[in-house]
């Protein structure tokens, strides 16, 4: 156990002005659920919730995010945009790049991105993001949750259905959870501010350079369970995944499909 230390976390923030508030909890059902409720009560953009443990952590497509206490990082941030359409055009990819920067800064050079925003190392999942938006007449409240496997006990991960890895195993040494959490929060807040000003453009080339699916055979699965074989061909300007099916190039959007390597 290496409990999070508020002072060390705050000291690691590169730009403290972007942080509107920090809630550090021993336990919560879900950091995303907590901030979505806070957003409905008028919490300002730049609010962050981080927890030692989640009882009901969530991933994409309703999957459970395994969240044992005291080892990994589970955090969410709230940002407010003028409209939800901008969020749909690539925010999750921009935030994936932000997380990638942090883990590469820590020394994990072989980590890449699986569309739209999962981080993998040698075919094993290291981190994932869940971006949820709530529209209102005043704009769009977006909550972005990040789960990063930092120090995952083997027994805690036995029920996970896909290959996984944690950052300390990759690097072969212990890391400061508080320092990494501060860097991660800072990177996410900075990415939100930059995305609000310029959209996906400042992140696009970096995302393409880390694309783990480009030119690989994949299986496309729709929300109703249908599957199709395809070849991934990178992303378009708005962050949609381009896939080649029967010789035709088609854009796919996050939330509509899931993708796996064939």
Joined tokens for residue 159: 């029920």
Per cent of the chain over pLDDT 70 is 92
| Domain covering 217-261, topology | SH3 type barrels. (2.30.30)
Model confidence at 111: pLDDT above 80? yes
| Mean model confidence pLDDT for the chain | 90
CB neighbour class for 202 (10 Å; exposed up to 12, middle 13-18, buried from 19): middle
Token pair for residue 4?
Answer: 């999070």
Model confidence at 70: pLDDT above 90: no
pLDDT in tens, 6-62: 999 999 999 999 999 999 999 999 999 999 999 999 999 999 999 999 886 665 555
**What is the per-residue pLDDT for 136?**
78
- 8 Å CB contact between 134 and 20: no
pLDDT of residue 159: 67
Catalytic residues: 60, 125, 260
The pLDDT assigned to 87 comes to: 82
Q: What is the DSSP string of the chain?
A: -----HHHHHHT-S-GGG--EEEEES-BS-HHHHHHHHHHTTPPTTEEEEES-BSS-B-GGG-B----TTTSEEEEEEEEES-HHHHHTTHHHHHHHHHHHHHHHTT-TTEEEETTTEEEETTEEEEEEEEEEEEETTEEEEEEEEEE-SS--TGGGTT-SS-B--HHHHHTS---HHHHHHHHHHHHHHHHHHHHHHTTHHHHHHHHHTBSSTT-EEEEEETTS-EEEEEEEEE-TTSPEEEEETTEEEEE-BTTEEEEE-
Q: CA 174, CA 172: separation in Å to the nearest integer?
A: 7
| Domain spans, the chain | 6-209, 217-261
**pLDDT, tens only, 200-241:** 999 999 999 999 999 999 999 988 888 999 999 999 999 999
**What confidence score (pLDDT) does residue 154 get?**
72
Tens digit of pLDDT for each residue in 132-166? 998 877 789 999 999 999 988 776 666 677 899 99
Q: Which fold has domain 6-209?
A: BirA Bifunctional Protein; domain 2 (3.30.930)
Q: Which residue has the higher pLDDT, 171 or 67?
A: 171
Angle (nearest 5°) at CA 68 between 66 and 71: 120
Peptide bond into 93 cis (omega under 30): no
């Amino acid at each position: 156990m290496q409990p999070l230390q508020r002072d060390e976390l705050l000291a690691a923030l590169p730009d403290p002005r972007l942080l509107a508030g920090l809630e550090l909890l021993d336990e919560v059902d879900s950091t995303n659920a907590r901030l979505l409720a806070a957003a409905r009560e008028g919490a300002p953009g730049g609010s962050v919730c981080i927890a030692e443990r989640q009882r009901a952590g969530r991933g994409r497509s309703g999957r459970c995010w395994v969240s044992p206490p005291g080892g990994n990082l589970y955090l969410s941030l709230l940002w407010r945009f003028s409209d939800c359409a901008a969020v749909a055009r690539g925010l999750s990819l921009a935030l994936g790049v932000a997380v990638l920067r942090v883990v590469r800064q820590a020394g994990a050079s072989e980590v890449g991105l699986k569309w739209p925003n999962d981080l993998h190392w040698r075919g094993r999942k290291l981190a994932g993001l869940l971006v949820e938006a709530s529209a209102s007449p005043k704009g769009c409240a977006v909550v972005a949750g990040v789960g990063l496997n930092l120090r995952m006990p083997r027994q805690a991960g036995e029920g996970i259905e896909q290959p996984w890895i944690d950052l300390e195993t990759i690097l072969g040494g212990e890391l400061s959870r508080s320092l990494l959490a501060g860097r991660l929060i800072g990177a996410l807040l900075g990415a939100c501010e930059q995305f609000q000003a310029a959209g996906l453009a400042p992140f696009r080339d970096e995302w393409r350079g880390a694309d783990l699916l480009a030119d690989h055979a994949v299986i496309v699965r729709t929300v109703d369970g249908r599957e199709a074989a395809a070849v991934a061909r990178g992303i378009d300007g708005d962050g949609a995944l381009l896939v080649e099916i029967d010789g035709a190039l088609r854009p796919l959007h996050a939330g509509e499909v899931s993708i796996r390597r064939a």
